[in-house]
A and B are shown apart, each in its own frame.
Chain A
Amino acid sequence: MTEYNFAYLDEQTKRMIRRAILKGLAIPGYQVPFASREMPMPYGWGTGGVQVSAAVLTPKDTFKVIDQGADDTTNAVSIRTFFQRTAGVATTTATSDATVIQTRHRIPEEPLHEGQILVYQVPIPEPLRFLEPRESETRKMHSLEEYGLMHVKLYEDISRHGHIATSYAYPVKVEGRYVMDPSPIPKFDNPKLGDMAAIQLFGAGREQRIYALPPYTQVVSLDFEDHPFEASKADHPCGMCGATDSYLDELIIDDAGGRMFVCSDTDYCEARQATGHKGKDAA
Protein backbone atom coordinates (compact mmCIF):
# COMPACT_ATOMS: atom_id res chain seq x y z
CA MET A 1 0.00 0.00 0.00
CA THR A 2 2.81 2.44 0.74
CA GLU A 3 4.23 2.11 -2.78
CA TYR A 4 1.45 4.21 -4.26
CA ASN A 5 -0.54 7.28 -3.37
CA PHE A 6 -4.10 6.38 -2.40
CA ALA A 7 -5.91 5.26 -5.58
CA TYR A 8 -2.72 5.44 -7.66
CA LEU A 9 -3.03 8.97 -9.10
CA ASP A 10 -1.23 11.93 -7.56
CA GLU A 11 -3.33 14.55 -5.77
CA GLN A 12 -2.93 17.28 -8.39
CA THR A 13 -4.20 14.97 -11.11
CA LYS A 14 -7.16 13.96 -8.96
CA ARG A 15 -8.02 17.61 -8.31
CA MET A 16 -7.98 18.28 -12.07
CA ILE A 17 -10.25 15.29 -12.74
CA ARG A 18 -12.54 16.24 -9.85
CA ARG A 19 -12.98 19.76 -11.24
CA ALA A 20 -13.88 18.26 -14.62
CA ILE A 21 -16.44 15.92 -12.99
CA LEU A 22 -18.13 18.84 -11.22
CA LYS A 23 -18.43 20.84 -14.46
CA GLY A 24 -19.70 17.70 -16.19
CA LEU A 25 -22.43 17.31 -13.57
CA ALA A 26 -23.35 20.99 -13.92
CA ILE A 27 -23.70 20.68 -17.72
CA PRO A 28 -25.25 17.22 -18.22
CA GLY A 29 -24.16 15.56 -21.46
CA TYR A 30 -21.42 18.09 -22.30
CA GLN A 31 -17.94 16.60 -22.80
CA VAL A 32 -15.44 18.31 -20.51
CA PRO A 33 -11.82 18.13 -21.76
CA PHE A 34 -9.34 16.86 -19.18
CA ALA A 35 -5.62 16.13 -19.11
CA SER A 36 -5.78 12.34 -19.24
CA ARG A 37 -2.73 10.60 -17.78
CA GLU A 38 -0.77 7.57 -18.85
CA MET A 39 -2.11 4.66 -16.84
CA PRO A 40 -0.43 1.31 -16.24
CA MET A 41 -2.68 -0.29 -18.86
CA PRO A 42 -3.13 0.33 -22.57
CA TYR A 43 -5.65 2.77 -24.02
CA GLY A 44 -8.83 0.88 -24.79
CA TRP A 45 -8.67 -1.03 -21.52
CA GLY A 46 -10.63 1.53 -19.57
CA THR A 47 -8.06 4.19 -18.75
CA GLY A 48 -10.77 6.88 -18.72
CA GLY A 49 -12.99 4.93 -16.37
CA VAL A 50 -10.03 4.07 -14.16
CA GLN A 51 -9.04 7.73 -13.81
CA VAL A 52 -12.61 8.75 -12.94
CA SER A 53 -12.86 5.89 -10.42
CA ALA A 54 -9.53 6.92 -8.88
CA ALA A 55 -10.84 10.46 -8.43
CA VAL A 56 -14.11 9.44 -6.75
CA LEU A 57 -13.07 6.43 -4.62
CA THR A 58 -12.74 6.76 -0.85
CA PRO A 59 -11.32 4.05 1.44
CA LYS A 60 -14.88 3.29 2.62
CA ASP A 61 -16.17 2.35 -0.83
CA THR A 62 -17.10 -1.08 -2.08
CA PHE A 63 -15.99 -1.42 -5.68
CA LYS A 64 -17.40 -3.55 -8.48
CA VAL A 65 -16.17 -3.80 -12.07
CA ILE A 66 -18.08 -5.31 -14.96
CA ASP A 67 -17.01 -5.91 -18.53
CA GLN A 68 -19.97 -6.50 -20.86
CA GLY A 69 -21.94 -7.37 -17.72
CA ALA A 70 -19.44 -9.94 -16.46
CA ASP A 71 -17.43 -9.67 -13.24
CA ASP A 72 -15.00 -12.41 -14.23
CA THR A 73 -13.39 -11.29 -17.49
CA THR A 74 -9.73 -10.23 -17.75
CA ASN A 75 -10.48 -6.51 -17.94
CA ALA A 76 -12.88 -6.55 -14.98
CA VAL A 77 -10.64 -8.72 -12.80
CA SER A 78 -7.51 -6.66 -13.47
CA ILE A 79 -9.16 -3.28 -12.80
CA ARG A 80 -10.81 -4.63 -9.63
CA THR A 81 -7.44 -5.93 -8.42
CA PHE A 82 -5.77 -2.66 -9.38
CA PHE A 83 -7.93 -0.66 -6.96
CA GLN A 84 -7.82 -3.38 -4.33
CA ARG A 85 -4.04 -2.94 -4.34
CA THR A 86 -3.71 0.83 -4.81
CA ALA A 87 -6.76 2.09 -2.88
CA GLY A 88 -7.31 -0.76 -0.45
CA VAL A 89 -11.04 -0.68 -1.15
CA ALA A 90 -13.39 -3.58 -0.53
CA THR A 91 -14.59 -5.27 -3.70
CA THR A 92 -17.73 -7.16 -4.55
CA THR A 93 -19.53 -8.72 -7.48
CA ALA A 94 -23.00 -8.03 -6.03
CA THR A 95 -24.54 -5.00 -7.73
CA SER A 96 -26.57 -3.92 -4.69
CA ASP A 97 -23.56 -4.03 -2.32
CA ALA A 98 -21.32 -1.84 -4.48
CA THR A 99 -21.03 1.92 -3.94
CA VAL A 100 -18.89 2.53 -7.03
CA ILE A 101 -19.38 0.38 -10.13
CA GLN A 102 -17.03 0.73 -13.08
CA THR A 103 -18.55 -0.65 -16.25
CA ARG A 104 -17.56 -1.46 -19.78
CA HIS A 105 -20.53 -1.49 -22.16
CA ARG A 106 -23.41 -2.48 -19.84
CA ILE A 107 -25.73 -1.09 -17.19
CA PRO A 108 -26.49 -3.70 -14.49
CA GLU A 109 -29.93 -5.33 -14.72
CA GLU A 110 -30.68 -4.62 -11.08
CA PRO A 111 -31.90 -1.01 -10.66
CA LEU A 112 -29.24 1.15 -9.00
CA HIS A 113 -30.05 3.18 -5.90
CA GLU A 114 -29.09 6.57 -4.45
CA GLY A 115 -25.59 6.57 -3.05
CA GLN A 116 -24.22 4.50 -5.92
CA ILE A 117 -21.95 5.81 -8.68
CA LEU A 118 -21.74 4.20 -12.11
CA VAL A 119 -18.48 4.91 -13.96
CA TYR A 120 -18.46 4.14 -17.69
CA GLN A 121 -15.40 3.35 -19.78
CA VAL A 122 -15.84 5.26 -23.02
CA PRO A 123 -13.85 4.61 -26.22
CA ILE A 124 -15.24 7.40 -28.47
CA PRO A 125 -17.10 10.06 -26.47
CA GLU A 126 -18.12 12.15 -29.48
CA PRO A 127 -21.44 10.90 -30.92
CA LEU A 128 -20.84 12.91 -34.10
CA ARG A 129 -17.29 11.66 -34.69
CA PHE A 130 -18.06 9.13 -37.44
CA LEU A 131 -20.19 11.74 -39.20
CA GLU A 132 -17.67 14.58 -38.86
CA PRO A 133 -14.02 13.75 -38.11
CA ARG A 134 -12.89 17.27 -37.21
CA GLU A 135 -13.04 18.11 -33.50
CA SER A 136 -13.28 21.84 -34.31
CA GLU A 137 -16.45 21.13 -36.33
CA THR A 138 -18.16 18.77 -33.87
CA ARG A 139 -17.53 21.26 -31.08
CA LYS A 140 -19.22 23.94 -33.17
CA MET A 141 -22.11 21.60 -33.92
CA HIS A 142 -22.67 21.00 -30.19
CA SER A 143 -22.49 24.71 -29.44
CA LEU A 144 -25.09 25.46 -32.14
CA GLU A 145 -27.23 22.41 -31.29
CA GLU A 146 -26.75 21.39 -34.91
CA TYR A 147 -27.76 17.75 -34.68
CA GLY A 148 -29.48 17.32 -38.04
CA LEU A 149 -26.66 15.11 -39.30
CA MET A 150 -27.35 12.56 -36.57
CA HIS A 151 -30.98 12.31 -37.63
CA VAL A 152 -29.86 11.89 -41.24
CA LYS A 153 -27.69 8.98 -40.13
CA LEU A 154 -30.61 7.30 -38.35
CA TYR A 155 -32.81 8.01 -41.39
CA GLU A 156 -30.25 6.37 -43.69
CA ASP A 157 -30.46 3.33 -41.41
CA ILE A 158 -34.19 3.20 -42.04
CA SER A 159 -33.91 3.68 -45.79
CA ARG A 160 -31.33 0.91 -46.06
CA HIS A 161 -32.57 -1.62 -43.50
CA GLY A 162 -36.20 -0.69 -42.98
CA HIS A 163 -35.56 0.09 -39.33
CA ILE A 164 -32.96 1.91 -37.20
CA ALA A 165 -30.14 -0.64 -37.30
CA THR A 166 -27.94 1.11 -34.72
CA SER A 167 -27.94 -1.41 -31.90
CA TYR A 168 -25.29 -0.09 -29.51
CA ALA A 169 -23.83 3.33 -28.63
CA TYR A 170 -27.29 4.56 -29.60
CA PRO A 171 -27.28 8.39 -29.39
CA VAL A 172 -29.36 10.14 -26.72
CA LYS A 173 -30.36 13.74 -26.03
CA VAL A 174 -29.81 14.96 -22.50
CA GLU A 175 -32.26 17.44 -20.94
CA GLY A 176 -33.25 18.61 -24.40
CA ARG A 177 -29.79 20.07 -25.05
CA TYR A 178 -26.70 17.91 -25.70
CA VAL A 179 -26.62 14.83 -27.88
CA MET A 180 -24.49 12.30 -26.02
CA ASP A 181 -22.86 8.96 -26.73
CA PRO A 182 -23.91 6.62 -23.92
CA SER A 183 -20.72 4.55 -24.59
CA PRO A 184 -21.19 1.27 -26.47
CA ILE A 185 -23.94 -0.08 -24.22
CA PRO A 186 -26.60 -2.08 -26.10
CA LYS A 187 -29.65 0.04 -26.88
CA PHE A 188 -31.50 -2.34 -24.56
CA ASP A 189 -29.85 -0.37 -21.72
CA ASN A 190 -30.75 3.10 -23.04
CA PRO A 191 -34.04 3.43 -21.11
CA LYS A 192 -32.10 2.95 -17.84
CA LEU A 193 -29.95 6.06 -18.50
CA GLY A 194 -32.71 8.52 -17.72
CA ASP A 195 -34.23 9.02 -14.27
CA MET A 196 -31.56 6.82 -12.69
CA ALA A 197 -31.12 7.20 -8.92
CA ALA A 198 -27.33 6.78 -9.16
CA ILE A 199 -24.77 9.31 -10.43
CA GLN A 200 -23.42 8.36 -13.87
CA LEU A 201 -19.89 9.44 -14.83
CA PHE A 202 -18.27 8.79 -18.22
CA GLY A 203 -14.50 8.74 -18.74
CA ALA A 204 -12.69 8.56 -22.10
CA GLY A 205 -8.94 8.27 -21.48
CA ARG A 206 -7.46 8.33 -24.96
CA GLU A 207 -9.93 11.01 -26.12
CA GLN A 208 -9.44 13.01 -22.89
CA ARG A 209 -13.08 13.71 -22.13
CA ILE A 210 -15.27 13.39 -19.04
CA TYR A 211 -19.03 13.78 -19.03
CA ALA A 212 -21.78 13.07 -16.57
CA LEU A 213 -25.45 12.52 -15.89
CA PRO A 214 -26.70 13.63 -12.47
CA PRO A 215 -29.43 11.43 -10.93
CA TYR A 216 -32.96 11.80 -12.34
CA THR A 217 -31.78 13.46 -15.54
CA GLN A 218 -33.99 13.40 -18.60
CA VAL A 219 -32.36 11.25 -21.28
CA VAL A 220 -34.19 10.57 -24.56
CA SER A 221 -33.02 8.14 -27.26
CA LEU A 222 -33.21 9.85 -30.66
CA ASP A 223 -35.92 8.50 -32.96
CA PHE A 224 -38.69 9.43 -35.40
CA GLU A 225 -42.45 9.58 -34.85
CA ASP A 226 -43.05 6.75 -37.32
CA HIS A 227 -39.95 4.82 -36.22
CA PRO A 228 -39.98 5.11 -32.43
CA PHE A 229 -37.00 3.97 -30.40
CA GLU A 230 -37.19 0.33 -29.39
CA ALA A 231 -34.99 -1.30 -26.74
CA SER A 232 -34.29 -4.70 -28.28
CA LYS A 233 -32.75 -7.94 -27.10
CA ALA A 234 -32.46 -11.53 -28.35
CA ASP A 235 -35.93 -13.04 -28.27
CA HIS A 236 -35.13 -15.94 -25.93
CA PRO A 237 -35.14 -16.67 -22.20
CA CYS A 238 -31.76 -17.06 -20.48
CA GLY A 239 -30.53 -20.65 -20.81
CA MET A 240 -29.12 -20.68 -17.28
CA CYS A 241 -31.65 -18.78 -15.16
CA GLY A 242 -34.68 -18.54 -17.43
CA ALA A 243 -34.90 -14.73 -17.17
CA THR A 244 -36.92 -13.12 -19.94
CA ASP A 245 -36.21 -9.51 -18.97
CA SER A 246 -32.40 -9.44 -19.16
CA TYR A 247 -29.95 -8.67 -21.96
CA LEU A 248 -28.53 -11.89 -23.44
CA ASP A 249 -25.22 -13.03 -24.90
CA GLU A 250 -25.36 -15.61 -27.69
CA LEU A 251 -22.85 -18.42 -27.23
CA ILE A 252 -21.86 -20.98 -29.90
CA ILE A 253 -21.49 -24.24 -27.99
CA ASP A 254 -20.54 -26.86 -30.62
CA ASP A 255 -19.40 -27.34 -34.22
CA ALA A 256 -22.92 -28.03 -35.44
CA GLY A 257 -24.08 -24.44 -34.95
CA GLY A 258 -25.67 -25.20 -31.61
CA ARG A 259 -26.06 -22.12 -29.46
CA MET A 260 -27.42 -20.90 -26.19
CA PHE A 261 -28.46 -17.55 -24.82
CA VAL A 262 -27.34 -16.48 -21.35
CA CYS A 263 -27.62 -13.29 -19.30
CA SER A 264 -24.76 -10.90 -19.98
CA ASP A 265 -25.04 -9.66 -16.36
CA THR A 266 -23.36 -12.51 -14.47
CA ASP A 267 -24.32 -11.21 -11.02
CA TYR A 268 -28.00 -11.00 -12.02
CA CYS A 269 -27.91 -14.50 -13.50
CA GLU A 270 -26.11 -16.07 -10.54
CA ALA A 271 -28.41 -14.41 -8.03
CA ARG A 272 -31.44 -15.78 -9.89
CA GLN A 273 -29.96 -19.28 -10.06
CA ALA A 274 -29.20 -19.13 -6.34
CA THR A 275 -32.87 -18.50 -5.64
CA GLY A 276 -33.88 -21.57 -7.65
CA HIS A 277 -34.58 -20.15 -11.12
CA LYS A 278 -33.51 -22.58 -13.81
CA GLY A 279 -33.27 -22.23 -17.59
CA LYS A 280 -33.52 -25.02 -20.15
CA ASP A 281 -29.72 -25.35 -20.54
CA ALA A 282 -28.89 -25.34 -16.81
CA ALA A 283 -26.98 -28.39 -15.65
Chain B
Amino acid sequence: MQANTLSGGFADPATQSAHAFRSVMEAMARPGTIQDIEGAAPPAPLSPAMGAVLLTLCDTETPIYLAGDMDCEAARAWLAFHTGAPFVGPAQCMFAVGKWDALAPLAVYPIGTSEYPDRSATLIVECSELAAGATLTGPGIKDQATLSLPEVEAFQANRTQFPLGLDFIFTCGERLAALPRSTEVSRSSSEAIAQVGAS
Protein backbone atom coordinates (compact mmCIF):
# COMPACT_ATOMS: atom_id res chain seq x y z
CA MET B 1 0.00 0.00 0.00
CA GLN B 2 2.64 2.44 1.13
CA ALA B 3 5.06 1.35 -1.59
CA ASN B 4 2.26 1.56 -4.14
CA THR B 5 1.55 5.12 -3.11
CA LEU B 6 5.13 6.32 -3.36
CA SER B 7 6.02 4.61 -6.65
CA GLY B 8 4.58 5.01 -10.12
CA GLY B 9 5.37 8.69 -10.66
CA PHE B 10 7.57 10.08 -13.41
CA ALA B 11 11.14 8.88 -12.97
CA ASP B 12 12.40 11.92 -14.87
CA PRO B 13 9.63 14.50 -14.35
CA ALA B 14 10.94 17.27 -16.60
CA THR B 15 11.30 15.26 -19.80
CA GLN B 16 8.53 12.71 -19.18
CA SER B 17 5.97 15.40 -18.43
CA ALA B 18 7.16 17.29 -21.53
CA HIS B 19 6.46 14.24 -23.71
CA ALA B 20 3.17 13.58 -21.92
CA PHE B 21 2.07 17.18 -22.38
CA ARG B 22 2.76 17.04 -26.12
CA SER B 23 0.42 14.03 -26.33
CA VAL B 24 -2.28 15.91 -24.43
CA MET B 25 -1.77 19.06 -26.50
CA GLU B 26 -1.85 17.18 -29.82
CA ALA B 27 -5.05 15.46 -28.68
CA MET B 28 -6.68 18.76 -27.66
CA ALA B 29 -5.49 20.55 -30.82
CA ARG B 30 -6.64 17.73 -33.11
CA PRO B 31 -9.90 16.36 -31.69
CA GLY B 32 -10.51 12.74 -32.64
CA THR B 33 -6.85 11.76 -32.91
CA ILE B 34 -5.67 9.11 -30.49
CA GLN B 35 -2.29 9.72 -28.87
CA ASP B 36 0.04 7.47 -26.90
CA ILE B 37 1.01 8.63 -23.42
CA GLU B 38 3.28 6.84 -20.97
CA GLY B 39 5.54 7.21 -17.97
CA ALA B 40 3.11 6.81 -15.06
CA ALA B 41 2.12 3.65 -13.18
CA PRO B 42 -0.66 4.70 -10.81
CA PRO B 43 -2.60 2.23 -8.65
CA ALA B 44 -5.97 0.93 -9.92
CA PRO B 45 -8.53 2.24 -10.73
CA LEU B 46 -6.40 5.00 -12.34
CA SER B 47 -5.11 3.98 -15.78
CA PRO B 48 -1.53 4.74 -16.85
CA ALA B 49 -2.82 7.39 -19.26
CA MET B 50 -4.99 8.96 -16.55
CA GLY B 51 -2.03 8.98 -14.17
CA ALA B 52 0.25 10.62 -16.74
CA VAL B 53 -2.30 13.35 -17.56
CA LEU B 54 -2.78 14.15 -13.87
CA LEU B 55 0.97 14.22 -13.15
CA THR B 56 1.47 16.53 -16.14
CA LEU B 57 -1.28 19.05 -15.40
CA CYS B 58 -2.07 18.92 -11.67
CA ASP B 59 -0.41 20.38 -8.60
CA THR B 60 -1.36 22.21 -5.42
CA GLU B 61 -3.10 24.91 -7.49
CA THR B 62 -5.57 22.58 -9.22
CA PRO B 63 -8.51 21.22 -7.20
CA ILE B 64 -9.49 17.71 -8.35
CA TYR B 65 -12.87 15.99 -8.09
CA LEU B 66 -12.72 12.20 -7.92
CA ALA B 67 -16.01 10.73 -9.12
CA GLY B 68 -17.50 7.33 -8.25
CA ASP B 69 -15.01 4.43 -8.03
CA MET B 70 -12.09 6.81 -8.52
CA ASP B 71 -12.72 8.29 -5.09
CA CYS B 72 -10.83 5.58 -3.23
CA GLU B 73 -7.97 5.52 -0.75
CA ALA B 74 -5.43 4.27 -3.31
CA ALA B 75 -6.13 7.06 -5.81
CA ARG B 76 -6.34 9.77 -3.15
CA ALA B 77 -3.08 8.75 -1.51
CA TRP B 78 -1.24 8.46 -4.84
CA LEU B 79 -2.44 11.84 -6.13
CA ALA B 80 -1.83 13.51 -2.78
CA PHE B 81 1.78 12.30 -2.73
CA HIS B 82 2.62 12.92 -6.40
CA THR B 83 0.67 16.12 -7.14
CA GLY B 84 -0.41 17.61 -3.80
CA ALA B 85 -3.70 18.59 -5.41
CA PRO B 86 -6.62 19.32 -3.06
CA PHE B 87 -9.74 17.16 -3.42
CA VAL B 88 -13.03 19.01 -3.78
CA GLY B 89 -16.60 18.56 -4.98
CA PRO B 90 -17.61 18.85 -8.65
CA ALA B 91 -18.71 22.49 -8.42
CA GLN B 92 -15.26 23.71 -7.29
CA CYS B 93 -13.01 21.46 -9.36
CA MET B 94 -10.59 22.36 -12.13
CA PHE B 95 -10.17 18.71 -13.13
CA ALA B 96 -12.71 15.94 -12.67
CA VAL B 97 -11.66 12.32 -12.86
CA GLY B 98 -13.95 9.34 -13.38
CA LYS B 99 -15.93 7.04 -15.60
CA TRP B 100 -18.60 8.73 -17.72
CA ASP B 101 -21.62 7.58 -15.70
CA ALA B 102 -20.00 8.61 -12.41
CA LEU B 103 -19.20 12.10 -13.69
CA ALA B 104 -22.85 12.93 -14.50
CA PRO B 105 -24.67 15.29 -14.22
CA LEU B 106 -22.50 17.72 -16.20
CA ALA B 107 -24.50 20.79 -15.16
CA VAL B 108 -22.70 21.01 -11.80
CA TYR B 109 -19.19 21.66 -13.20
CA PRO B 110 -17.89 25.21 -13.67
CA ILE B 111 -18.13 26.25 -17.35
CA GLY B 112 -16.33 29.58 -16.96
CA THR B 113 -17.78 33.08 -17.15
CA SER B 114 -18.38 35.13 -20.27
CA GLU B 115 -15.38 37.30 -19.39
CA TYR B 116 -13.20 34.35 -18.32
CA PRO B 117 -14.35 31.27 -20.25
CA ASP B 118 -11.03 29.58 -19.38
CA ARG B 119 -12.13 29.24 -15.75
CA SER B 120 -13.90 26.01 -16.59
CA ALA B 121 -13.43 22.39 -15.62
CA THR B 122 -11.62 19.77 -17.68
CA LEU B 123 -13.20 16.33 -17.32
CA ILE B 124 -10.82 13.38 -17.65
CA VAL B 125 -12.96 10.43 -18.56
CA GLU B 126 -11.74 6.84 -18.16
CA CYS B 127 -13.07 4.81 -21.10
CA SER B 128 -13.13 1.11 -21.86
CA GLU B 129 -12.16 1.77 -25.48
CA LEU B 130 -11.00 4.52 -27.83
CA ALA B 131 -11.95 3.97 -31.44
CA ALA B 132 -13.91 5.44 -34.32
CA GLY B 133 -17.45 6.53 -33.55
CA ALA B 134 -19.29 9.83 -33.60
CA THR B 135 -18.43 12.37 -36.29
CA LEU B 136 -16.52 15.48 -35.25
CA THR B 137 -16.06 18.80 -37.05
CA GLY B 138 -14.62 22.11 -35.94
CA PRO B 139 -11.29 23.79 -35.11
CA GLY B 140 -8.37 21.37 -35.25
CA ILE B 141 -10.14 19.07 -37.68
CA LYS B 142 -9.54 18.98 -41.43
CA ASP B 143 -12.92 18.11 -42.99
CA GLN B 144 -14.05 15.67 -40.30
CA ALA B 145 -12.80 13.25 -37.65
CA THR B 146 -14.33 10.42 -35.71
CA LEU B 147 -14.13 9.27 -32.09
CA SER B 148 -15.99 6.84 -29.86
CA LEU B 149 -17.90 8.93 -27.30
CA PRO B 150 -19.95 7.68 -24.35
CA GLU B 151 -22.92 9.62 -25.74
CA VAL B 152 -23.62 12.40 -28.25
CA GLU B 153 -26.27 14.69 -26.76
CA ALA B 154 -24.18 15.86 -23.80
CA PHE B 155 -21.40 17.06 -26.11
CA GLN B 156 -23.85 18.77 -28.45
CA ALA B 157 -25.37 20.61 -25.48
CA ASN B 158 -21.86 21.55 -24.29
CA ARG B 159 -21.05 22.99 -27.74
CA THR B 160 -24.08 25.30 -27.67
CA GLN B 161 -22.59 27.10 -24.65
CA PHE B 162 -19.43 28.12 -26.57
CA PRO B 163 -17.24 29.99 -25.66
CA LEU B 164 -18.26 28.69 -22.24
CA GLY B 165 -18.27 24.97 -21.61
CA LEU B 166 -16.33 21.92 -20.48
CA ASP B 167 -13.34 20.30 -22.13
CA PHE B 168 -12.86 16.55 -22.14
CA ILE B 169 -9.88 14.21 -22.16
CA PHE B 170 -10.62 10.51 -22.69
CA THR B 171 -8.11 8.02 -21.35
CA CYS B 172 -7.87 4.30 -21.97
CA GLY B 173 -4.85 2.18 -21.00
CA GLU B 174 -1.84 4.10 -22.34
CA ARG B 175 -3.75 6.15 -24.91
CA LEU B 176 -5.82 9.29 -24.85
CA ALA B 177 -8.02 11.52 -27.01
CA ALA B 178 -9.66 14.86 -26.32
CA LEU B 179 -12.76 16.85 -27.15
CA PRO B 180 -12.63 20.62 -26.58
CA ARG B 181 -15.85 22.64 -26.26
CA SER B 182 -15.37 23.99 -29.80
CA THR B 183 -16.03 20.63 -31.51
CA GLU B 184 -19.37 19.91 -33.20
CA VAL B 185 -20.46 16.34 -32.59
CA SER B 186 -22.95 14.34 -34.65
CA ARG B 187 -24.00 10.76 -34.55
CA SER B 188 -22.90 9.50 -37.95
CA SER B 189 -21.17 10.74 -41.08
CA SER B 190 -24.42 10.90 -43.08
CA GLU B 191 -25.93 13.16 -40.45
CA ALA B 192 -22.89 15.45 -40.64
CA ILE B 193 -23.11 15.74 -44.42
CA ALA B 194 -26.81 16.64 -44.16
CA GLN B 195 -25.87 19.37 -41.66
CA VAL B 196 -23.21 20.87 -43.96
CA GLY B 197 -25.63 20.77 -46.89
CA ALA B 198 -28.30 22.63 -44.92
CA SER B 199 -26.09 25.46 -43.70
Interface residues in B26-66 by Cβ distance below 8 A to A read 26, 28-30, 56-59, 61-62
Does A233 count as interface, using CB distance less than 8 angstroms? no
Does A175 count as interface, using CB distance less than 8 angstroms? yes
Contacting pair B182 A175 (CB below 8 A): yes
Does A20 count as interface, using CB distance less than 8 angstroms? yes
Given A19-B62, A214-B29, A216-B139, is A139 in contact with B115 using a C-beta cutoff of 8 Å? yes
Does A75 count as interface, using CB distance less than 8 angstroms? no
Q: What mask results when residues 1 to 39 of chain A are scored 1 for a CB within 8 Å of chain B, else 0?
A: 000011100011011101111111111101011000000
Residues in chain B near residue A25, CB distance under 8 A: 25, 28-29, 140, 180
Interface residues in B108-141 by Cβ distance below 8 A to A read 113-118, 120, 122, 138-141
Contacting pair A216 B141 (CB below 8 A): yes
A interface, size bucket: 35 or more
Residues in chain A near residue B115, CB distance under 8 A: 139-140, 142-143
Query: B139's contact among A19, A32, A175, by CB below 8 Å, is which?
Result: A175
Distance (Å) between the CB of A59 and the closest chain B CB? 6
Chain B contributes a number of interface residues (CB within 8 A of A) equal to 39
Contacting pair B167 A26 (CB below 8 A): yes
Contacting pair A15 B180 (CB below 8 A): no
Residues in chain B near residue A215, CB distance under 8 A: 29-30, 140, 142
Nearest to A9 among chain B residues (CB) is B14
Contacting pair A16 B61 (CB below 8 A): yes
Query: B118's contact among A15, A32, A214, A216, by CB below 8 Å, is which?
Result: A32
Nearest to B120 among chain A residues (CB) is A23
Interface window among A50-58, A160-168, A244-252: A50-58
Residues in chain B near residue A178, CB distance under 8 A: 163
Contacting pair A216 B57 (CB below 8 A): no
Query: B57's contact among A19, A26, A213, A218, by CB below 8 Å, is which?
Result: A19
Does B76 count as interface, using CB distance less than 8 angstroms? no
Residues in chain B near residue A55, CB distance under 8 A: 21
Query: B30's contact among A6, A56, A213, A214, by CB below 8 Å, is which?
Result: A214
Contacting pair B118 A6 (CB below 8 A): no
Distance (Å) between the CB of A124 and the closest chain B CB? 19
Does B181 count as interface, using CB distance less than 8 angstroms? yes
Contacting pair A218 B56 (CB below 8 A): no
Contacting pair A217 B28 (CB below 8 A): no
Q: Which of A15, A24, A30, A212 has the most CB of B within 10 A?
A: A15
Does B15 count as interface, using CB distance less than 8 angstroms? yes
Nearest to A100 among chain B residues (CB) is B22
Distance (Å) between the CB of A69 and the closest chain B CB? 25
Given A6-B15, A23-B118, A140-B115, is A15 in contact with B28 using a C-beta cutoff of 8 Å? no
Distance (Å) between the CB of A24 and the closest chain B CB? 8
Q: What mask results when residues 1 to 39 of chain B are scored 1 for a CB within 8 Å of chain A, else 0?
A: 000000000000111011101101110111000000000
Residues in chain B near residue A177, CB distance under 8 A: 162-163
Interface residues in A201-217 by Cβ distance below 8 A to B read 212-217
Query: A214's contact among B15, B58, B139, by CB below 8 Å, is which?
Result: B139
Query: B25's contact among A5, A18, A28, A59, by CB below 8 Å, is which?
Result: A18
Does A172 count as interface, using CB distance less than 8 angstroms? no
Residues in chain B near residue A5, CB distance under 8 A: 14
Does A66 count as interface, using CB distance less than 8 angstroms? no
Given A27-B181, A30-B117, A140-B115, is A22 in contact with B28 using a C-beta cutoff of 8 Å? yes
Residue ranges of B at the interface with A (Cβ–Cβ < 8 Å): 13-15, 17-19, 21-22, 24-26, 28-30, 56-59, 61-62, 113-118, 120, 122, 138-142, 162-163, 167, 180-182
Question: Can you pick out 16 interface pairs between chain A and chain B where the beta carbons lie within 8 Å of each other?
Answer: A11-B13, A11-B17, A15-B17, A15-B57, A15-B59, A18-B24, A22-B25, A24-B118, A27-B163, A30-B163, A57-B18, A58-B18, A59-B18, A142-B115, A175-B138, A199-B25
